[in-house]
Structures are given as structure tokens and as C-alpha cells.
């Protein structure tokens, strides 16, 4: 099977190259036979890579330790759940996963793209084949998933314990799907540049794909945060690690695009900018992959240093140069149809929103690379750690949150003072009211005060938008308010789904701000002894050590501590935190012992307990207790954000027509009313 898998990679390489050549030549010479061949090559590429994936999965499930990848990532006693995720838990397998999913997206694009965008498809096939071929080349040249061992060990080394977590089964594929699917809008953008058909058509073709990418990236980031929180044990979910940053960059750029594309649709502006955002998002996705896999920047998440970094660097430089040249040569075709009429307009607020999102992306990139720059220029090694990232990025994030509330309140083209007064009255009142309540409640942390009050302002904006829209339907059609709300949402999914995403963002900021009120302590406890910790919610939490138990289960030996938890003296449950020593099927230790955090999650606070270790091998244990306020709202906010994204993505509703300039002007609060069918 491994030989078949390896041969499939070679077949994929040849087919991918053929698809790229026939796609570009067929598109340029308008030869239908070559265009058809490129289309077929896309299908064949997926077929060849799917066979390679099946071969690797068979090797994993058969415990074929003659394959180096299987021997170094799995063991006989690895639970089946994690055997599935072993496919992408290592460098070689994840490259295969990437190439296969990209080829699948290539097939879906060929099948699902509507007739009116057919002229782009040969080039789209060429670009997807070319990118997939690059990944296959890396596998064949430097990271062969079917590499054989010089001997066959009795058992494998097993999977890193930190990857044996449900979060790690879903986080990488979601993030990969986000990264990979960016290639499709990128391919359409390249097709539009090559065909010189740079009107709004190419954007209509990629709109759903950009939302798909954004949604997968969002889910991937959120699950990654959740995994870091429950698995790594430091009590947080975001540490500005280079690999986390690499995933955040394309998300920020795509978020900017999803906003600025509306200006192009409504006013025919920002054509150059929108195209640059799509090209930039793809380049950043490859750059992020380079960071993760090259070892150029140390990270707890990255794959080990390997020669694949050189492949990615060469590809990144070549692709960026080629894309840049193509983009610059087409700039004269991308002139705007309208100009900014007033700084107090929806367009201007979206421009500022874009500026901030791209500024944030640049800031994250700058911070990630600044240590390299410092060493190169000054010869001084420095650390650009979480405190520095927070110092630079939190103010930008807060202004962005404020703009989230301002944008929808301002009319297109030019807002009058009366219009502004009418629009801002309710949201500003809600924001100021929230600020006063917090001040009276004794909160003095400036960041948290701004986050909560800006959040309230955005909430006021969204509430007002829904209320006015539903009331208008109620007046016009006599629909009861719940029906009017439902109709409003279902007929304007993009707009109102977007507002739900904004609510998700507010909730995320509320959760982030909660971390300003974190409290923690360490304690050494014998069974029966207790530690107390007062939370910023005013309650005193008492943790009583009940004892230590040890036992074997699945592929590990567990040392578990059980604690009784009381809030202000009242029993609220028990927490369990563990040390896990993973072993192979022969009982040999495979990794350093890992820690399983005990978490009791609530709307107000999370109680977070870590078993640091035992004293002299006795039941006397060292614990770290942390009270993390409002973390639950981060996960709930993420859930709301994803639901909003799904609503935007869901087929149907009222299509956004891209028409002439006259039809583009629409008041910010206007609701498109249509009779119920």
C-alpha cells in the first residue's frame, strides 16, 4: 500500500503539472480541448491524492510501523479517535492532507461555478493544480509520508499527549480548510487579472468562497484557543505565539475584504484594494505555513525545523513576485467609478474599518518579525512577547470594536447631522449607560471599561437595526414582530447575518476583557486541607484536596487529584485534575508526563485547577488555582460568530445585485422590503 501511495504522489505531480500547463495555455489561446484537459486534470489530481490519503490511513490503522510517519506519530494502543487525526498531526501527513483538500476544492470549483463565470475556470484549474503540485513536490522532495524505516519497530512512538485532545482533532483541519480554501478566491483573482475581466463579476464568483475561508479560519482559531485553554494549562487562550499570529493574519485580511467588497458593490470604489486583499490573504496563508514549518521562529506549536522551509520560502518569493508583477500591470484597468463624497459616510467608515484591520494585521506581522529584524539590523536578540503585543494591539482592537458599532449607523455617500443624531442616539445612550454602571460598580481598569462600554454601544447599534427593520415590516405587511424579525433575517441574510457576527465579536471582547480580573494562587495541600481564593466576582472559593488516585487506562497511567469546591461555604461540586504518563503497548514511557487541567466553567467565572505535582511521592500535592472571569463568553461569542457566518453563507435570501452607480446609493438604515411569498 505504501508503494501505491508513493506512486500516487508521483502521478499527482505529473497530472498537476499537466493541469497547470493546459489551464494557462488553454486559457491564453482559448483552446477548448486544452481547457477541457485542465478540467479533467483537476479531477485526476484529486483522485491520485485521495488514493495516497487512503494508503496512508490504511498504514496508520494497520499499525504498519515500517512507515516512518506511522512509527513516529502513533502506537498500537493509540485510541482510534486519534488514529484519524494522525493523518494531519505531523509535517508529512498534513502536507498530504493540504494538497488533497485543495484538489477537492479545485474539483468543487469546476463543478459548482455558474455558467457566467466559466471564462475564469481554465485559469482557476491551472492555479489550483499549480499550488497543489507545489505541495506534492515538497512531499516528494523533503517530506515523504511514505518514507520507510530501516527496520520495523515493535511499536510506534505514539502521539504527543498534547495532541491527544478532541480540540486537536478538529482544530488543524478547520484551520487548514480555511487556509486552503483561500486558494480558490486567489485563483479567481489571478484568472481575472489574466483575462483582464476585472469588473465585479470575479468578485461575485469568489464571494461565497471568501466567506467559507473566513468561517473555517474563525472556527479553526476558536477551537485552537479552546484547546490551548483546556490543554496547555497556563490559564489563557491566546499568547501571541508566532503560529497563532500566522493564522490570525489571513483572518484579519479576509475580514477587511468582506467589508470593503460592499463598497465596490455599492459604489464601484476600492477595486485595487479588494483585489490586493485577496492576493494578500493568500500570500499570508503561504507565509503562515512557511513560519509554521520552517522553524525560522521558535514556537510551541510549530513543526520541527526541516528543509521544507526552503521550499516554502522559494515558493513564497516566486509567487509573491509573479502576483505582484501581474497586479501592477493591470492597475490601469482597476480605476474607481466613484470617489469618496464625504468623510461622514458609510464608505468612509468602512475605509477606516479596513485601515484598522489591515493595520492590525501589519502590527501582528511586524511584532512577529521584529525580533528577526532587530537581530539583522542591530545584532541584538530581543523578545517581542505577549505584553508588547498587548500594548500595541489592544488600543487598535478597541478602536476597531468602536467602528463596528459606528459603521452601520452612517448612511452611504453623505450623512446629514439630523440623520446622525437619529441614528446614534440609542446606541450612544446604551454605551454611556453601561460605562456609568461599570464605574459605579467599582471597575477602574481602562481597557475593560472601554471594551464593555464600546461593546454595549455596538450591541445598541445592532439592536436598533433589527428593531427598526422589524418594525418597518410590521407596519408594511402587518407581520407580528417575531415573524417580521425572521423575515428580515431570512431575506437579508448577508446584512443581518453580519450583524449577528458583530454580536459575536462583542461577546468575544467581553470575554477578553474579563481576563483583566484574573486571580491566581499556588498551594501545597495534604488530603483534607483546603486553599481559599477570592475572585473578583466577590465570592470566596474553597478548594479541599480529597486525595490522589492512580490507575491505568487506555494508553496512559493516570495520577488524579480530586478536589471539593465550595463557594462562600456552599458545596458547588468537585474538580479533578490529572498527571498523565503515556505509555506504548509494551508499557514503556513515551513522553514526559502531561497535565490535565480541572475546569469548572460558569457564566461569571471559570475555576481552573492544575496539579503541579506531588511532594516526595506522597498524596501531598502542589496545585495552582486560577479564577478566570468571563471565559465562557469567549466560547459563546465564538459560537454566535460562527452562526452569523453560517447565516451569511446560507444559500437563498435576496441576491445582492451589482448595478449602475445610481442604484448603489442606499441609506445605512434602509431596509429592503419585499412582499412575503
Binding site for another protein (CB under 8 A): 232-235, 239, 241, 298-300, 343, 348, 351-352, 355-356, 359, 362-363, 366-367, 370, 374, 377-378, 380-388, 391-392, 395-396, 520-524, 526-527, 548, 550, 557, 559, 579, 581, 589, 592-593, 595, 610-622, 624
SS3 at position 300: coil
Rounded Cα gap, residues 615 and 623, in angstroms:
11
Rounded Cα gap, residues 420 and 414, in angstroms:
10
- Give the nearer residue to another protein in terms of CB position, either 117 or 293: 293
Pair 216, 174: CB distance under 8 Å: yes
CA distances from 506 to 46, 189, 427, 648 (A): 40, 32, 14, 18
- Give the nearer residue to another protein in terms of CB position, either 107 or 627: 627
- Give the nearer residue to another protein in terms of CB position, either 68 or 302: 302
- Best CA proximity match to 257, nearest among 248, 270, 267, 244: 270
Residue 578 CB, nearest approach to another protein (Å):
10
Element (H, E) at 614: strand 605-614
- Give the nearer residue to another protein in terms of CB position, either 250 or 359: 359
Q: Which residues contact 177 (CB under 8 A, 6 or more apart)?
A: 101, 216, 220
Pair 239, 228: CB distance under 8 Å: yes
Residue 52 CB, nearest approach to another protein (Å):
34
- Give the nearer residue to another protein in terms of CB position, either 295 or 602: 295
Segments of 535-597 assigned E as strands: 540-553, 556-567, 570-582, 594-596
Residue 201 CB, nearest approach to another protein (Å):
28
SS3 at position 330: coil
Residue 441 CB, nearest approach to another protein (Å):
24
- Across-strand partners of 556? 553, 582
- Give the nearer residue to another protein in terms of CB position, either 381 or 677: 381
- Give the nearer residue to another protein in terms of CB position, either 111 or 343: 343
List phi, psi (to 5°) of 378: -105, -10
Pair 519, 626: CB distance under 8 Å: yes
Residue 299 CB, nearest approach to another protein (Å):
7
Residue 286 CB, nearest approach to another protein (Å):
22
- Give the nearer residue to another protein in terms of CB position, either 367 or 668: 367
Residue 407 CB, nearest approach to another protein (Å):
15
List phi, psi (to 5°) of 613: 160, 180
Rounded Cα gap, residues 623 and 235, in angstroms:
13
Residue 609 CB, nearest approach to another protein (Å):
12
Q: Which residues contact 394 (CB under 8 A, 6 or more apart)?
A: 447
Residue 196 CB, nearest approach to another protein (Å):
29
Residue 622 CB, nearest approach to another protein (Å):
4
- Give the nearer residue to another protein in terms of CB position, either 155 or 465: 155
Residue 614 CB, nearest approach to another protein (Å):
5
Residue 550 CB, nearest approach to another protein (Å):
5
- Give the nearer residue to another protein in terms of CB position, either 17 or 533: 533
Pair 505, 513: CB distance under 8 Å: no
- Give the nearer residue to another protein in terms of CB position, either 561 or 648: 561
- Give the nearer residue to another protein in terms of CB position, either 352 or 477: 352
Pair 58, 8: CB distance under 8 Å: no
Query: For cell 488555582, what's the residue?
Result: 625
- Best CA proximity match to 198, nearest among 125, 107, 115, 270: 270
- Give the nearer residue to another protein in terms of CB position, either 36 or 524: 524
Rounded Cα gap, residues 429 and 405, in angstroms:
13
- Across-strand partners of 561? 548, 577
Residue 202 CB, nearest approach to another protein (Å):
26
For residue 359 the three cell numbers come to: 493595520
Pinpoint the alpha helices (H) of 143-198. 166-181, 183-195
Pair 41, 18: CB distance under 8 Å: yes
Pinpoint the alpha helices (H) of 30-120. 32-61, 68-73, 80-85, 91-112
Amino acid at each position: 500500500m505504501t508503494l501505491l501511495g508513493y506512486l500516487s504522489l508521483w502521478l499527482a505531480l505529473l497530472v498537476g503539472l499537466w493541469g497547470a500547463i493546459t489551464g494557462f495555455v488553454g486559457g491564453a489561446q482559448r483552446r477548448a480541448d486544452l481547457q477541457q484537459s485542465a478540467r479533467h486534470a483537476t479531477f485526476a489530481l484529486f483522485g491520485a491524492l485521495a488514493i495516497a490519503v487512503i494508503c496512508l490511513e490504511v498504514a496508520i490503522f494497520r499499525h504498519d510501523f515500517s512507515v516512518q510517519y506511522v512509527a513516529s506519530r502513533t502506537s498500537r494502543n493509540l485510541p482510534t479517535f486519534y488514529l484519524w487525526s494522525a493523518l494531519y498531526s505531523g509535517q508529512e501527513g498534513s502536507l498530504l492532507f493540504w494538497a488533497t483538500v485543495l484538489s477537492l476544492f479545485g474539483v468543487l470549483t469546476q463543478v459548482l461555478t455558474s455558467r457566467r463565470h466559466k471564462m475564469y475556470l481554465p485559469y482557476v484549474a491551472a492555479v489550483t493544480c499549480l499550488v497543489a503540485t507545489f505541495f506534492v513536490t515538497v512531499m516528494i522532495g523533503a517530506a515523504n509520508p511514505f518514507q520507510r524505516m530501516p527496520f520495523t519497530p515493535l511499536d510506534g512512538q505514539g502521539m504527543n499527549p498534547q495532541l491527544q485532545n478532541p480540540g486537536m482533532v478538529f482544530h488543524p483541519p478547520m484551520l487548514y480548510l480555511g487556509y486552503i480554501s483561500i486558494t480558490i478566491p486567489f485563483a479567481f483573482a489571478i484568472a481575472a487579472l489574466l483575462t483582464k475581466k476585472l469588473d465585479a463579476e470575479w468578485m461575485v464568483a469568489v464571494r461565497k468562497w471568501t466567506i467559507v475561508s473566513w468561517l473555517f479560519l474563525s472556527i479553526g482559531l476558536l477551537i485552537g484557543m479552546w484547546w490551548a485553554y483546556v490543554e496547555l494549562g497556563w490559564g489563557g487562550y491566546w499568547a501571541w505565539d508566532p503560529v497563532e499570529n500566522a493564522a490570525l493574519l489571513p483572518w484579519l485580511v479576509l475580514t477587511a475584504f468582506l467589508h470593503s467588497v460592499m463598497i465596490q458593490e455599492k459604489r464601484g470604489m476600492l477595486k485595487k484594494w479588494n483585489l490586493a486583499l485577496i492576493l494578500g490573504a493568500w500570500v499570508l496563508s503561504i507565509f503562515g505555513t512557511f513560519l509554521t514549518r520552517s522553524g525560522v521562529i521558535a514556537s510551541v506549536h510549530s513543526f520541527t525545523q526541516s528543509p521544507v522551509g526552503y521550499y516554502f520560502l522559494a515558493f513564497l518569493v516566486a509567487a509573491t513576485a509573479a502576483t505582484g508583477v501581474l497586479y501592477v500591470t493591470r492597475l490601469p484597468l482597476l480605476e474607481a467609478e466613484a470617489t469618496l463624497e464625504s468623510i461622514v459616510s458609510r464608505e468612509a467608515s468602512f475605509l477606516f474599518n479596513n485601515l484598522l484591520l489591515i493595520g492590525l494585521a501589519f502590527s501582528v506581522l511586524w511584532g512577529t518579525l521584529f525580533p528577526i529584524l532587530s537581530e539583522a539590523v542591530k545584532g541584538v536578540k530581543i523578545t517581542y512577547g505577549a505584553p508588547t503585543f498587548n500594548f500595541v494591539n489592544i488600543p487598535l482592537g478597541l478602536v476597531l470594536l468602536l467602528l463596528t458599532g459606528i459603521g452601520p449607523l452612517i448612511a452611504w455617500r453623505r450623512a446629514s447631522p439630523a440623520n446622525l443624531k437619529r441614528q446614534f442616539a440609542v446606541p450612544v445612550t446604551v454605551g454611556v449607560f453601561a460605562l456609568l454602571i461599570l464605574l459605579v460598580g467599582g471597575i477602574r481598569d481602562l481597557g475593560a471599561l472601554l471594551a464593555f462600554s464600546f461593546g454595549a454601544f455596538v450591541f445598541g447599534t445592532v439592536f436598533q437595526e433589527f428593531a427598526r427593520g422589524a418594525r418597518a415590516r410590521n407596519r408594511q405587511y402587518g407581520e407580528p414582530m417575531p415573524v417580521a424579525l425572521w423575515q428580515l433575517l431570512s431575506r437579508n441574510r448577508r446584512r443581518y447575518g453580519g450583524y449577528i457576527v458583530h454580536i459575536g465579536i462583542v461577546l468575544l471582547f467581553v470575554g477578553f476583557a474579563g481576563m483583566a480580573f484574573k486571580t491566581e494562587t499556588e498551594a501545597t495541600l495534604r488530603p483534607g486541607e483546603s486553599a481559599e481564593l477570592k475572585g473578583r466576582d466577590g465570592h470566596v472559593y474553597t478548594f479541599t484536596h480529597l486525595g490522589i488516585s492512580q490507575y491505568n487506562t487506555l494508553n496512559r497511567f493516570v495520577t488524579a487529584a480530586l478536589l471539593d469546591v465550595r463557594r462562600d461555604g456552599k458545596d458547588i461540586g468537585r474538580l479533578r485534575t490529572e498527571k498523565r504518563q503515556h505509555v506504548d503497548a509494551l508499557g514503556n514511557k513515551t513522553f514526559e508526563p502531561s497535565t490535565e487541567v480541572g475546569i469548572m466553567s460558569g457564566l461569571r467565572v471559570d475555576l481552573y485547577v492544575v496539579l503541579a505535582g506531588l511532594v516526595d511521592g506522597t498524596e501531598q500535592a502542589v496545585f495552582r488555582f486560577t479564577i478566570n472571569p468571563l471565559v465562557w463568553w469567549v466560547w459563546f461569542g465564538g459560537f454566535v460568530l460562527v452562526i452569523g457566518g453560517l447565516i451569511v453563507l446560507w444559500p437563498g435570501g435576496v441576491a445582492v445585485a451589482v448595478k449602475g452607480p445610481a442604484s448603489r446609493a442606499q441609506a445605512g438604515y434602509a431596509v429592503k422590503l419585499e412582499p412575503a411569498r
